Amino acid sequence: MKIIMLGAPGAGKGTQAKMIAEKYKVPHVSTGDIFRANIKNGTELGKKAKEYMDKGQLVPDELTVEILLDRVAQEDCKNGYVLDGFPRTIPQADVLDKELTKLGDKVDFAINVDVPDENIVRRMSGRRACLKCGATYHIEHIPPKQEGICDVCGSELVQRDDDKPETVQNRLSVYHEQTQPLIDYYNEKGILKSVDGTKDMQDVFSEITGILG
């Protein structure tokens, strides 16, 4: 079972990807993790990717797909995998499709965790983090016992730059421009399934498992 996770930043697709991977005993393949592992291990592909990253450039689609295919060709992926963070654009999806077809393979499901922008802005801008011990909170859903103070170590809680409303809006704009078209792309292929990401995390997961069977 090969699954691609789609959804805006903050929609909760990473959390769902981990839960799917655990339930179906398949690897959760995050492109960020693969890049880091290849660079850390000094692989040829990692060295090539690092050259681009060191210059502040995006790693080209072909190289990203090559690194990804190298990962999914490993033994633990033989029964499937959950792709998280890739593809992000139509050209990436095209390259991935072509390469998988050459291997006699294909993606089975593209799961879109659908959450309206205003929910995401509220969800992400409510996050608070303790930079000292790494504990995370949410002013609505998981508030600290004392406002602005970490329950664990008593340090001051901060709002990360990534979670500030204007940054979230920018990330959502990029998402709608680049990644949203993938929803139509996979819909045309007949493998897109959308779930309501505004529901409780467990309810979203139940909806996904109902689709995957």
**From 71, 88, 123, 128, the catalytic residue:** 88
Start-end of H helices in 58-151: 61-72, 90-102, 117-125
Catalytic residue among 71, 123, 127, 128: 127
At 93, the amino acid letter reads A
160 counts as catalytic: yes
Question: Could you give the CA distance from residue 82 to residue 20 in angstroms, rounded to a whole number?
Answer: 8
> Is 127 known to be catalytic?
yes
| Annotated catalytic residue within 18, 48, 50, 171 | 171
Catalytic residue among 106, 132, 160, 189: 160
CA–CA–CA angle 84, 88, 89 (5° rounding): 155
Alpha carbons 146 and 154: distance in angstroms, whole number: 9
Crossing angle, helix 181-188 and helix 90-102, to 10 degrees?
30
Catalytic residue among 13, 71, 123, 128: 13
Residue holding tokens 């007949």? 190
Q: Is 171 a catalytic residue?
A: yes
Identify which of 79, 47, 82, 81 has the alpha carbon closest to the alpha carbon of residue 66. 47
**CA 184/CA 74 separation, integer angstroms:** 30
Distant-in-sequence, close-in-space partners of 134: CB < 8 Å, separation ≥ 6: none
Nearest-angstrom CA–CA distance, 27 and 188? 27
Residues with active-site annotation: 13, 88, 127, 160, 171
